[in-house]
Amino acid sequence: MKKINYSVTFACYNEVEYTKKCINSMIDNGDDLSRLVVVDNSSSDDTRKYLQTVEIRKVILNKTNLGCGVAWNQGAMELQSEWTIIMNNDIVVSNGWIEGLINSAIENNIRVISPALMEGDFNYNFESTTLNAKEKMNGYVRFGDIHAVCLAVHNSVWNEVGYFRASPSLLGYEDTIFFNDLKNKGIKTGITSSSWLYHFGSVTQSYMKKERGLKDKDDLAARNNHRFLHQSWLNRKLVKIKKNWLTKKMKSHEIDKYGMTIYGVRNNGKFFWN
C-alpha cells in the first residue's frame, strides 16, 4: 500500500468524555497520533486538562468559541497534508478506517470522501460488525453523497473551493455551505463502505442548544444562513426533493444488493438501514 500523506483534526467544546472515547479508539486502533491536531473552542470542563495528558501533534486553545468552521480551518492549516481528515469528536473509529477511507478516494478518483456510519445503541461488537460490513459491501461507494461527521479532503480542493466559511455566527452551517460549494465546482464526492465509524450523535450541537435554552429538535443555526447558498426558496426546495429521491434510490439498490446500506442505526438489538 502506498504511504498516505494525511492529517486528522477535530474541534471540541466541552463534553470531554466523548473526546476521550474518540482518542482512545484511535489509540486502540494503532493510529498515529502525531498526525492529529485538536482545536478546543474554549471548553469550560476538563477537556483542556485531559488534552494535556495525551501525546498528539498539536492542541490549539482558542480563547473563545470561534465555531467549527474556524476551528476546522485552524486544524487543517496547522498540519498541511495531501489529505486532511476533518471529523467530529463524538465518534469511535474502526480498524483500518484511515487507509480504507483515503485508498477508496484514490481508487475512485474522489476528492472529498466520508466513511460509512453506524449510530443508535452501542451495545454490540463494533469491530466485528464493521469487518463484516466491509466484506459484505466489498468497496461499494455511494457517489455524490457526503456527511460532516467525517470527511477526507484532498489538498487540491482548498485551492479550488476554499476553506470553510470562518464565521462563529453560522453555528454549524459551515458544512452546508462547503458542500454546496463542492457541488457548484463539480468536485466528486462519495461515502465509502471501506471505512466505518460509530457516531454518538451531534453531541456538541446538543450541548450548545442547551446553553441557549433550545430543544434538541430546534435549529441551532440562524434561519437566514441559507442566503450564503445564493439559491431561491424554490431552488432549495427542488434540490432537497432531488437529493431525497436519489438517497431513496441508492438505499433501495444497496438493500437489494448487500442487505444493508452505508448508514445503520441500532435499536432494540437490530440494525435499521437508511
Percentage of the residues of the chain whose pLDDT score is greater than 70? 91
Task: Please choose, from the candidates 22, 6, 18, 161, the residue with its C-alpha nearest in 3D space to the C-alpha of residue 75.
Answer: 6
Q: Are 203 and 254 in contact (CB under 8 A)?
A: no
- pLDDT above 60 for 181: yes
- pLDDT above 70 for 2: no
Confidence of residue 167 (pLDDT cuts 50, 70, 90): confident
Q: Are 60 and 12 in contact (CB under 8 A)?
A: no
Answer whether residue 1 is part of any domain. Answer: no
Q: Which three cell numbers stand for residue 165?
A: 466559511
Answer whether residue 117 is part of any domain. Answer: yes
Q: Which three cell numbers stand for residue 41?
A: 473552542
Q: Are 106 and 188 in contact (CB under 8 A)?
A: no
Per-residue pLDDT, 236: 75
Answer whether residue 194 is part of any domain. Answer: yes
Per-residue pLDDT, 66: 94
Structure confidence by residue, pLDDT tens digits, 192-211: 999 999 999 876 666 565 65
Structure confidence by residue, pLDDT tens digits, 13-41: 999 999 999 999 999 999 999 999 999 99
Q: How far is CA 184 from CA 9, 78, 82, 133, 188, in A?
A: 25, 27, 22, 32, 11
SS3 163: coil
Q: Which of 110-114, 207-211, 224-228, 248-252 has the lowest mean pLDDT?
A: 207-211
The more confidently predicted of residues 177 and 240 is 177
Answer whether residue 211 is part of any domain. Answer: yes
CATH number at residue 94: 3.90.550.10
Range of 15's domain?
Answer: 6-273
Question: For all residues of the chain together, what is the average pLDDT?
Answer: 91
Q: How far is CA 153 from CA 149, 267, 274, in A?
A: 13, 32, 24
Per-residue pLDDT, 187: 98
What value does the mean pLDDT take over residues 93-120?
97
Q: What is the rounded CA–CA span in Å between residue 193 and residue 37?
A: 25
Q: Which residues are within 8 A (CB) of 65 and not within 5 positions of it... i.e. 6 or more apart?
A: 13, 41, 42, 168
Per-residue pLDDT, 1: 44
Q: What is the rounded CA–CA span in Å between residue 210 and residue 221?
A: 14
Answer whether residue 85 is part of any domain. Answer: yes
Per-residue pLDDT, 225: 72
Q: What is the rounded CA–CA span in Å between residue 108 and residue 112?
A: 11
Q: What is the rounded CA–CA span in Å between residue 215 and residue 17?
A: 22
Q: Which of 91-105, 194-208, 213-227 has the lowest mean pLDDT?
A: 213-227
Q: What is the rounded CA–CA span in Å between residue 68 and residue 74?
A: 10
Total tally of structural domains belonging to the chain: 1
